[in-house]
Amino acid sequence: MKISNDKVVSIEYTLKNADGQIIDTSVGNAPLEYIHGRGYLISGLEKDLEGKSEGEEFTSEIEPKDAYGEFDESMVVEVDRKQFPEGIEIEEGMQFEAEYGQLVTVKSVTKDKITIDANHPLAGVKLFFDVKVVSVRDASPEELSTGLYGGCGGCGCDGDCSGGDCSSGGCGCGCDC
C-alpha cells in the first residue's frame, strides 16, 4: 500500500542538520505514527513520503521554507527585565512558553534587559531526514474523526484539556496527542 492522504503511516527516522549532527531520532523508540495529509508533519517531509510504500528507505533534504520557516529577525526582541516575575533566575538558552503557547528562547540577559527569540529553534535550518517506512494502512473512520489517539487525552496518558492547560492542542502531558 502506498502512502497517500488519510493513511496511517508509521516511520522510523533520524533528523540531522547540515553538519550531520543528530537533532532527533525515533531509532530505539517506538516509530512515529501519524495520519498522512492532515498536517501532522512538516510539509516537506510529508511531501517526500507521498507515494512511498512499507519497507522503503530514503533520505530527504528539507529546505527551511518547507520545515519551520525562515529565520525572522523581527521575532528577536529585547524586553525589560521587570516584565518577568521577581525571584526567577533567567539564563541564556532557557526556553519557556510565552502567551498563547508560543515557545521562546532567551538569547541574552543583562541587568535590565532580556533578549528573547520567538522563532522555532529550527527556523532557518536545512533539515536532513533518514527515513524508513515501517507500515502503511487505511485510517479508520474514528481515527479520521478524532485523530489516532481519540483526541485530547485519548493516548492513554490520562491527560485532559480542562483548566486551560492545553497549550499545543494536546492534553498537556507532553505526548502531543
Mean pLDDT of the chain: 87
Query: pLDDT tens digit string along 132-147?
Result: 999 999 999 999 998 8
CA-wise closest residue to 58 among 13, 5, 9: 13
Does some domain include residue 169? no
Amino acid at 85: P
> Residues 15, 52: one domain?
yes
> Residues 53, 81: one domain?
no
> Residues 51, 80: one domain?
no
Q: How many domains does the chain have?
A: 2
> Residues 83, 16: one domain?
no
> Residues 141, 57: one domain?
yes
Residue 18, classed as helix, strand or coil, is coil
Going from the C-alpha of 101 to that of each of 109, 130, 155, the distances in angstroms are 22, 30, 21
> Is the confidence at residue 164, as pLDDT, over 50?
no
- Report the share of the chain in percent with pLDDT over 90: 72
The domain in which residue 109 lies consists of 73-117
